[in-house]
Amino acid sequence: MLDTALLTPETFRFFRELASHNSKDWMDANRERYQLHIVQPFRNLFATLAPAVLALSPRFDVCGRTGVNFSRINRDIRFAKDKTPYRPQMYLMFTGTGGEGWQSGQFYIGVSADAATLGFRIYSDSKSKTGALAQVARPRVLKDPGWPRRQKQRLGRRYESYWYSMEKREWTKHNGWPLAADEWNRLLGWVVRKKLKPGVAMRPAFPREILRTFRALLPLFRFTSLSGRAAR
């Protein structure tokens, strides 16, 4: 059933406290809370959404594995500037199977201490020539340069857009819609999303709000990630 309240005040409280007490000792002491208020609600949300997401496109991966459909709460600190061991947020992801993992477009829901975000995103590596951005999205935009502007006109009032490029060896965020051809030639990541208050995410209608968002953004996934007839 789509009309089901799955996130609770305890979900957001856990992330708020984790942000303030980000240590292994704290996590070990609160592992049961993590399972009860984070892992299980996200699993239930996945089970609720997966059939409807597959109905939008059978090209989404719904294997239910951590790293594919669920983000890891443990942070890889080997090369990170932030050395805290845990991420104070969790993501539920539906990634297209047309590319290699994160290099294809995906729908996502993110929950942190003070907000829930949902939308579409696509990333690539600066050296990658096999991801959907390089093989599908960029050639299409260069062939149809008016497409990004049409998406801005269709979605710009309801959704935030930003994109990334590599500038002086730094991953750099640009606010707004990538409209120009030279921006797409440099583009390594693109996010179109809406940000909701916790109270909205705790309502029984939240799964329906997620699916309305995914339907609105489905043309972005098809255009950037699917080739041939699958893009229609």
- Reading the block at residue 16, the tokens are 């708020």
Q: pLDDT averaged over consecutive 10-residue blocks of the chain (232 residues)?
A: 75 96 96 96 95 95 93 83 89 80 83 97 76 90 96 98 92 96 93 97 94 98 83 58
Q: How far is CA 114 from CA 13, 15, 71, 160, 223, in A?
A: 9, 9, 18, 18, 32
CB 113 within 8 A of CB 21: no
pLDDT of 128: 65
pLDDT of 160: 98
pTM: 0.92
pLDDT of 53: 97
Q: How far is CA 12 from CA 178, 198, 204, 208, in A?
A: 32, 7, 16, 20
Residue 102 has what DSSP assignment?
G
- Reading the block at residue 216, the tokens are 């609105």
pLDDT of 213: 98
Half-sphere exposure of 36 (CA within 13 A, CB side): 8
For the chain, list the domains and their CATH numbers: 9-231 (3.30.930.20)
pLDDT of 227: 80
Q: Which amino acid is at 160?
A: E
- Using CA of residue 224, residue 150, residue 164, residue 91, what is the dihedral sign? negative
